[in-house]
Amino acid sequence: MTIQAQFLNKNWEISPNKVMPLTSISYSSGINTETAKTSGGKDKIVSKGYKADTLSITYDVVKTAGCNPEREYSDMVTLTGAIGPFLINGRRFGAAKYRLISVKPSNIVTSNTGEMISMTISAQFEEPIVSKSDSKNIGKSGASIDKSTTQKGIRK
């Protein structure tokens, strides 16, 4: 069995009994900025801190590939709001932790009796927001920052 990706107890895998790989991964990271006028009248871009990282995944769930589309969707909905690391090939991908914020099924195919045969599931994750008082001494990676090496969030 090969586990391609993992979030808490949810695995995307390729094995003789189940084929459920990720078909799409999108990741976004950035900083918040603000434009201010200097005393000389020029525009100055000021960093206002990091934006929360976001991660989106899409995967197909097909009954003939050893998956139960209804159960897989239900399992993901149950994880909505849960926080944990997102792993690809056993290594953390992106932020230290993500919160699953939404799950959306699409391309649902049913049999003539109404049984779900396949669907595409999209899931959106967002880095949990850290309060200002908690974030003063924490860097993007979650590690503590030595205040002597920073000034207004910018490394010297």
Tens-digit pLDDT profile for residues 9-29: 999 999 998 999 999 999 998
pLDDT tens for 121-141 read 999 999 997 655 444 444 444
Which residues neighbour 72 within 8 Å (Cβ) at sequence distance 6 or greater?
Answer: 20, 61, 121
Class of domain 2-34+45-130: mainly beta
Q: How many CB atoms lie within 10 A of CB 52?
A: 17
Nearest to 1 by CA among 94, 46, 13, 78: 13
User: CA 40 to CA 105: how far, in whole Å?
Assistant: 54
Question: Residue 152's pLDDT is what?
Answer: 34
HSE-CB for 20 with a 13 A CA cutoff = 24
Helix/strand/coil for 96: coil
pTM across the whole model: 0.75
Which runs of consecutive H residues, i.e. helices, occur in 12-136? 69-78, 132-135
**Under-50 pLDDT residues of the chain:** 133-156
Structural contact between residues 123 and 76, judged by C-beta atoms closer than 8 angstroms: yes
What are the strands of the beta sheet with 116-126, ordered from one edge?
A: 22-28, 54-62, 116-126, 98-110, 83-84
User: CA 6 to CA 94: how far, in whole Å?
Assistant: 13
- Domains of the chain: which residue ranges? 2-34+45-130
Question: Residue 90's pLDDT is what?
Answer: 92
Question: Residue 151's pLDDT is what?
Answer: 34
